[in-house]
Amino acid sequence: MTNDFLPFLKDLIRLPGLSGYEAPVRQRIQAEWEPLVDEISISRLGSLHALKRGNGRGSRPCLLLAAHMDAIGLMVTEITDGFLRLTAIGGIDARILPGQCVIVHGRQELPGLIFLPPDSCLPIAKKDEPIALEYLLVDLGLSPSRIARLVRPGDPISFAQPPIMLGENKLAGHSLDNRASVAALTICLMELQARKHHWDLMAVATTQEEETFAGAKTSAFDIRPNLAVAVDVTFGRSTGLPEHKTYPLNDGPTNGWGPGIHPAVFRALKETAERAEIPSTTEIMPVRTGTDADALQITAEGIPTGVVSIPLRYMHTPVEVVSLADIRRAGRLLAAFVAELEIDFVEHITWQ
């Protein structure tokens, strides 16, 4: 199994693109997708829309595949004596931050590191405890006067951990949630170059999933697809984690099942995986999915929606780990699902 998508994925996780600031990563995705689709555009909120027309005659139904391209990160809230105070963009556990290298996106890109003050400088109640974000600072190694010229409160801060290979098949780095799924969606588009499909496909790299789901809400309302599938990551299994809440790496993607999933879409994805001999696991999602699907399914009159997820270890850290084989399998599953959709699929589905 080749990993020809790996250079592209490494590019994606080297680039910044925090929620609300996705332009750098969107530009790289657009360059990769343009040769693979018929039309490409950018929504009013910055999501990337890529249309690949189907081969069906007349008016064709539309399938939307959504993978969010935004990432978690930090933001400058205050400058104190040349050091930067922080707040989070997206869900971040402050325990993993001390010692991390970052890039501050001010008037220019500035490398820095996150440090924590010694216990002697903390309130007594906070000593010998994990340090909250409010006590962490960024050191840029510059004079206060220069920092005052280059940095403002509100400037975003991205992680600077470079991608690294673990063994031959696993990649570690920041922002694999959800750049791994963008790579899977890209593989889908590549596979469809050699396969006919009746439906129109709208591949969407959405914005602001980590904070508001704004990209998925607005793109789905604009496109009004007949079906949708959110492509995201899920919790990968490692030692000490409960098996019923995590999923092993290298066993393929998961297929979400729960109140937010349309039963017909779930069944179609499951049967597609079985026919294509792609390993997959049912993922129980009893409340919210925590993905763009939560927004997609309730847009306009309601959109029948499914969720395909890639297991990922150490989610929302700068050292997330994913299996390259699972990314490729997810892409192949999506391509097979698109190619095998019958033109009248929606006419025969019910919520049963």
Which residues, listed in sequence order, are joined to residue 313 by a DSSP beta bridge? 321
Write out the catalytic residue numbers. 209
158 burial class (0-12, 13-18, 19+ CB within 10 angstroms)? buried
Rg (CA), the chain: 21
257: closest CA among 306, 203, 325, 189? Answer: 306
Place of tokens 């698109």: 338
Tell me the HSE value of 227 on the side-chain side, using a 13 A CA sphere: 30
First to last CA, the chain: 38
What type of residue sits at position 276? A
